[in-house]
Amino acid sequence: MDERLYLFTDGASRGNPGPAGAGAILKDQKGSVLRAGSQYLGQLTNNEAEYHALLLGLKMAREFKPECLICCLDSELVVYQLTGRYRVRKSHLGLLLAKVRREEQKFQKVIYKAIPREKNEAADRLANVALRGK
């Protein structure tokens, strides 16, 4: 059986850097939500918030032990850094990428996909809920 789960994550920052939040939603192949979460992150840039949102989602997905985890982000920069298309030039983003790599090792297979913002509205809402609830 090919058990795939889909992780949608989004980070938001007001001010870049500014108050930041993260949102993550884990869905099964039928689109049913298995888990959702959000977290206030403090003062971060938008790119840092995107990485933290992914880390939040990876931690949520661990307990489900999927054969394949497909991570859907609307941040092309982060997806392209994770897939090696872009180099990481900022050391603080490099540290976050290293944390993601450590989390990846807990899964059989992880795939990163850049998706349009309009297909990531639920994760965006959660990130904004985290910002309002600080």
Per-residue confidence of the chain (134 residues) as pLDDT tens digits? 469 999 999 999 999 899 999 999 999 999 999 999 999 999 999 999 999 999 999 999 999 999 999 999 999 999 999 999 999 999 999 999 999 999 999 999 999 999 999 999 999 999 999 998 76
pLDDT of residue 133: 77
Which class is 4-132 in CATH?
alpha beta
Q: What is the pTM of this model?
A: 0.96
**Residue located via tokens 């790599």:** 101
**What's the burial of 115, exposed, middle or buried (CB within 10 Å: 0-12/13-18/19+)?**
middle
Q: What 3-state class would DSSP assign to 28?
A: coil
pLDDT of residue 2: 62
